[in-house]
Amino acid sequence: MAASLGMHSILIEADQVGTKLLAVAALENVVGGWRAGPELARAMGADIDRITAAGRCTLLRGRAVRVRGCGDRAEVRLDDGLTLTAAVVIVATGVGPVDPADTGWITAADGLALPPLWRARPEQLRGPVHVLGADRPLGTWLRAHPDARRPLTVLHPASDAYKAAEVADDDRVRLVQVRSLAVKETPSDGWQVDAELADGSTRSFIAATLLGNLGSTPAAIDGLNQGPDGYCPPELQHPRVLVAGDLRSSRCQRIITAQGSGAEAALQRYYEVAGVINGR
Ligand SMILES: Cc1cc2nc3c(=O)[nH]c(=O)nc-3n(C[C@H](O)[C@H](O)[C@H](O)COP(=O)(O)OP(=O)(O)OC[C@H]3O[C@@H](n4cnc5c(N)ncnc54)[C@H](O)[C@@H]3O)c2cc1C
């Protein structure tokens, strides 16, 4: 949108353009007739290539760690120390997986980050496979991979039970409700999970693959103002720091609202330059 309005932008991407879409096997609700996430990710990448070649965008690989609005400018700092200054910074870092140590029912080494279930490819899973948490992507993953045969043992708290119900009849899943559990790596490159089950008894599970399915949390960077739930609503930010996509709220987390809010942020800057905003 910014390029189509004649504005130059620098796109800072830590991974690859459309990286989340690569794991979305089927799409039904995106304007343009896209039927699969990778197809849309490729189209987005081609768009960026096209406007980059036309000199209207620069793609910079890097991780943003801090944003700051100051007077009539905004700054963004990357993890390699580089600081960029612009008229506005639009932050659209989305959401990331909840870490086990942040759940309250899992004890794990500090900094343990499990690969998310929704990104897992069935052919790459080594058995036995255990999944921590029964968040919604469990049902999506099973529907997206009807031919995946390796059984999943899903250890989840009582608060996930209503979400687990939709997969209860799938014979590829064994649901185990737990009160709490402790995770540690084994010397053989696997995992030991010591669980206190719902009835108060204890049981140990040995896993070759351990995946996280614990929900998501806003990928806020320093300098953003967060609400009580951790999300970053646009109205809490400095006027030079605009927020788009999933990062704004736990509601409306869809591709179409990400596209819409990103386009709106670019338009906001465009009308400011055009002097339409504030009656100028
Ligand atoms: C399994 C699954 C299935 C889904 N299915 C659908 C569906 O069918 N229909 C639908 O509408 N939506 C679906 N969604 C939701 C949809 O993917 C999101 O709403 C959408 O991708 C949000 O876009 P976004 O740009 O806000 O964030 P993201 O797509 O998460 O993009 C954020 C980008 O920011 C980058 N980034 C993060 N932190 C930094 C940083 N510090 N510095 C630089 N770059 C950073 C990331 O690498 C990423 O490329 C699904 C999501 C999942 C996980």
* Domains: count for the chain: 2
User: Which one-letter DSSP state was computed for residue 227?
Assistant: -
Where does a domain end: 212, 242, 261? 212
- CA 248, CA 258: separation in Å to the nearest integer? 9
Ligand 1 atom nearest the C-alpha of 137 is 1
Per-residue pLDDT averaged across 229-236, rounded?
A: 96
Joined tokens for residue 20: 């989340």
Query: What's the 275 CA to ligand 1 centre distance in angstroms?
Result: 33
> Which tens digit of pLDDT belongs to each residue from 166-193?
999 999 999 999 999 999 999 988 999 9
Asked if residue 276 has pLDDT above 80, the reply is: no
In CATH, what number is assigned to the domain containing residue 48? Answer: 3.50.50.60
Ligand 1 atom nearest the C-alpha of 30 is 11
Protein residues with CB under 6 Å of any ligand 1 atom: 12-15, 19-20, 23-24, 27, 29-30, 63-64, 92-94, 118, 137, 140, 219, 221, 245-246, 253-256, 258
For atom 15 of ligand 1, the residue with the nearest CA is 254
Joined tokens for residue 46: 């081609």
> What residue numbers bound the domain in which 80 lies?
3-94+219-279
136 and 74 in a single domain? The answer is no
Strand partners, 211: 131
Ligand 1 atom nearest the C-alpha of 246 is 26
65 and 8 in a single domain? The answer is yes
165 and 206 in a single domain? The answer is yes
73 and 145 in a single domain? The answer is no
> Which tens digit of pLDDT belongs to each residue from 41-69?
999 999 999 999 999 999 999 999 999 99
Q: How many CA atoms lie within 13 A of 122 on its CB side?
A: 15
